Structure formats: C-alpha cells, structure tokens
Amino acid sequence: MPMLRGNRTALVPFIKKPMKFNNYSQMISEMKEIKAKSVGINPSKTFFNDIMSASLLEEKIKNLGNIFKLKEDELSLEEIIQSVQEEKIMESFSSFENESNLIFMNDLTTKIFTLKRQKESKIVLEKSININDVKFIENNINKILKSNDFTDPLLGDLFEMLIKNERNDFLKEKEFLEKLFLKHIDYFYKNNSENLPVETLSVEQKIQDYVKMRFNRTDFKIEVYEGRYLYAEMYVLFRCGLYDKMKILIENIPFFQVQFIEALLGFLDGSPKKEIPSFLKQKDDLFKQTLYKLITLPPVYENNLVISTFEDVLWASFVISDSKETIDFNKFIFDIKQNRIKLLVAILTKNYDEAVKILINGEFSSLDTFYLSRELLKKSETEVNLFLNFAFLICQKCSTEESKLRLVNSLKFLNYKEICLKIIEFEMLEVVSNLPDEFKEEIIKTLRNSNNRNLLLKLHFVTSDTAEISVLLEDALNEEINSENNLSKLEDFAYFDVYTFLRNKNCIEENTKLSVLINFLKFKIERNIESLGRTDLFKETNFNILKELDCTEKIILLACEVVLKENSQLFAKKLVEIATKLNISNYSQQLILKRLVYVL
C-alpha cells in the first residue's frame, strides 16, 4: 500500500537496500520482483518500464561490455622478443632450481652414507679383539680351516657348509640341519644314557633309545609296538635325512599302514601325493600326523610339539619346498634373542648380508668372525665396508708388515677401491709397495683428489715423485714453525717420516727452501745461539728464499729472544740488519730495536 503524509496524495519514493548481485540471473529475478511490486503505481521515472524481458537486459549488458572492453593492440617485434627472453629466463631458473635440488639430494645422500660408515666404524672399533685370535689369523691367513679350528663348533660347521655350497637351492642347508640333528642325538645320548658308549651303537640303536628318553608318551600320543615308538623313530630318521634306513624299517616291521607306506615311498621317489589323508585323527600319534603332513608337501607347515625349535621350523620349510623353490623367509616372524640362532637362520636362509652384521655386531670371537664373514662376503658383497673396518682393525694389530700384507692380499676378491680407501683410512700405506699396480694407482688418485695435506704427504709410500712431496712438506714445515706447538725434538714433528724419506732420497739439498725450513724448525726446538748460527737467516745467498717464507718473521722474533738472553752483540747487529732488509712489519722491527737497544 502506498504511504501518504498528512493530506498529501504524493507517493513516497520506493526505497530498497542496495543489493549484491552474483550473476545475471539473480539480477534479472530481483528486477522482476521489484517491477511486480510496482504494478498500478505511476513512478516519476520510467526506469522499471525499461525492463521488459531477460533478452532485452542481456542485450543491454552486452552493449555495456563492448563499451568497457580493453583495446587490443597489435604486438610489436620488441614485445615478442621480450616475451621469448622472459620465457628463457624462467626456463633457466627452473633448470637451475632442479639442478640445485639434485645437488642438495646428492650431498644429503653422501652425508647419510658417510654417517652410516662412521657409525659402522664406531661399532667395529668397540668390538673386543683377542690378541691370540690375531696371532692365529697371522699364521693361518690362507689356510682353509676345518670346523674344529673355530672356537664355536656351530660356526665351524656353518663355515664348512658355506665353502662346499655352490647351489642356488636349499638342499645343502637342509642337509646341514639333518647332520646337526644327528650331532644333537649323540650329545643327548651321552648326557642321558647309562647304556653302552654312544660310539659302539648303530644309528638305529641310538634313535630307538633317544625317542624313549626324549619324548613323553602321553604328550605326544605315541603308539607303541612291541615296546618301540615306531612313528617317532621314523620321524627322527626322516629328520636326520636317513631315507634308506626309513625304507629298511618299513620292510622289516609289519606295523605301518599301507597308505603311509605308499605316501612315504612316493615322497622318497620324487612323486609325492599332495593331499593329506582323510583318515588322520586328532588323537593319532603326533609323529604320525607330522610325517603324513610333511611327505604330502602342504603349502605351509604346522608348528606343534614335534616341530618346535627354530632348526625344526627351517628344516620343515626346506622339506615342503622340495629344496627347489625360492623360500620367502621374510614371512617368518621369529622372536630370536640369541645371536647364534639369528646367525644360523640368516645363513641358512641365504641372507648373507644380515649374517655379516650379526657376526660383527655380536659377541663372537675375532677368529670366528673374520673367517666366517670373509666367506660370506664371497656370496654377497653388500656389507663390504662393515667387514673391512673389522678386518683392518685386526690388520693393525698384526706384528709384522709381511703378515699385514698377507691379510690385505687375502681380501683381494673384494672391490679393490674399497680396500684402497681402508688402507688410507687406517694409515697402512706401508703395505702398498707390494700390492698390484691397480692398488697403487687408485691410492695415488684418492690421495691427490682429497686436497688433504695430511693424506697427500703419505704419497711417499706409493710414488717416487719427490717434487710433489717436497712442496707439501714445505707447507707443513711453515705451518709447524708458525704454530704455538713446542716440540721437544725433531722426531716429534708429525711428518718426520716424510722428512726422513726425502733425506734418504738426497732431496734436501743445501740452500733450498726445504733445507732452510728444516734448520728453522731445529732452531725453534733448540732455541740457542749455536742452532741460530746454523740457520740460513744470515746467508745473503738465501735472501730471496727468506722473503718468500711465511715463517721468517716468526723466526726473527724467536731469534731476538735468544740473542737478548745470550747478550750477543754480534747476532744483535745481524738481526737488526736482516730485519730491515727483509722489510718485516713495522711492529716487529720496533719490537726488535726496543729489546736489543741495550745489547747493541
């Protein structure tokens, strides 16, 4: 309804709060609503009458857009070139960013690798090395050991198995566990039987007694035939790999079911029946159940009282795989705490890298660790760095250079570059002269690429290039003279061996930079008038050499102290004169004059 003021008939103007439009449809809808509310009213303006339809509004909006449309200018050549240049700059920046990321990742990888090697070195350095083990290794480095040479019989047996095992399947590992079980029977029999000595008994007799002593009849639901545990005996024969004796037992005793005999003979002949007999019952002899299930090659074994140890589990896995398939032992979840058992499992599952880590990190003897790890590295070289840290720790403790060389030579089946790095790291360059040329060349290359003077000065062990070593020794002497070190004798100089090497090669001639530096160092150590007189400080022929040396000013100041102490007028005059000629710093010249003024 229109609103009136008093007696006036004029219409109050239509007032509506400003609205925000998000799209054309909303705007059209709102306008139509306003127009509908204005029907029958004569507005003073005709704005609403202009809104006749959506199409008309669209046309007006389009016209409005054309009015405010940006002018399209034609691109100039300069703008095109500038655009191309900008694009190239962006591409270059993107390329630089990618390269930077790559460099960063490479540096990060290198750092992580270095930290890993340092951690491995620390672990190895903490391993106790028995000196008697070192002596044995020195004397038997190339000997093919027997199992009784090892301090741990199990490790000796594993070593013998490894050196004879060239197969890719698990047949040798299965046979190893079977022989190990036979040893267990002998050991058990000796400690639990009062019958005849174990050496006088046959395997069958020992097994007959063993099953009665070892297995509880009730727990294992054992069937008894004429006082014998025949299924238990059959299982133990099977566990020991004595297949021929299993056949003999079947032939001589009419106890076993026909189905069992057929299944067993099929397995032994290589054509097993891959189905578990339906007549097996839960109440049956556990050894009977276990045998049936193993010889029918189920996809997985079942743990029970019979298959109870880690060795049993591994052996059963080898049996059902028929020693021909690849076995994924990562699926085994063992809570193994003993390192011996961990090592056994790792080696028998051909996880040789893990075996090396267990050996070196575990509390095994140095002798056993060295020989077994070295044999494992012939199968897989992943843990070379860890083993070499350990091997070179032993090498350092060898008593002669000859035995050190023999030990290094015994490792030549490994990557020679890795060996060269360890020779440098453990400072054993004295053995290099007797190594093949490829070792020498690699060590020289590594030392030169190191940009480390401490390492470069060791080149005298591997090269006859004395000129390069002389320059390096000059730098080292300069640094030593300028340092605050107080050596008690020349032999305490860190690179005295390099000095001796060059002297023996007659490379330290008089009136050379090297000879001047050596005499300076001797004076710094002795600090008396006699050693000062033996220096080249007052020789005019070496004036140019003195000007080049960084340590000359330091020697002049030391000489000032000695001259002042000895009250030598002659040397005082010479010292002031040479200090002036060499144009040393004003501070040092004033200091010398101030101290020697009373001597002059």
Measured over all CA atoms, what is the biggest interatomic distance in the chain, rounded to whole angstroms?
142
Provide DSSP, 503-557: HHTT---TTSHHHHHHHHHHHHHH-SHHHHHTSSTT-GGGHHHHHH-TTHHHHHH
Tokens of 582: 């060499």
Q: Distance between CA atoms of 355 and 288, rounded to whole angstroms? A: 35
Give the DSSP H or E segment for 264: helix 258-268
Question: Which residues touch 240 (CB under 8 Å, ≥6 apart)?
Answer: 178, 179, 181, 182, 185, 203, 207
Q: How far is CA 540 from the centre of its chain?
A: 58
pLDDT of residue 57: 61
- For the four alpha carbons of 568, 572, 578 and 579, in that order, the dihedral sign comes to positive
pTM for the model stands at: 0.66
Q: How far is CA 284 from the centre of its chain?
A: 52
**Size of the chain in residues:** 600
Tokens of 208: 């007959």
Q: Distance between CA atoms of 204 and 492, rounded to whole angstroms? A: 73
- For the four alpha carbons of 397, 402, 406 and 408, in that order, the dihedral sign comes to positive
Q: Distance between CA atoms of 341 and 154, rounded to whole angstroms? A: 10
Q: Distance between CA atoms of 353 and 333, rounded to whole angstroms? A: 18
What are the pLDDT digits (tens) for 5-56?
444 444 444 455 666 656 656 666 777 776 666 666 555 444 445 445 556 6
CB 476 within 8 A of CB 518: no
CB 591 within 8 A of CB 560: yes
Tokens of 545: 């050499």
Q: How far is CA 506 from the centre of its chain?
A: 45
pLDDT of residue 70: 52
Question: Which residues touch 511 (CB under 8 Å, ≥6 apart)?
Answer: 536, 539, 541, 542, 545
Strands, E assignment, 394-433: none
Half-sphere exposure for 513 (CA within 13 Å, toward CB): 17
Cα–Cα nearest to 500, from 473, 525, 524: 473
What are the pLDDT digits (tens) for 397-409?
999 999 999 999 9
pLDDT < 50 stretches in the chain: 1-14, 44-48, 50-51, 122, 333
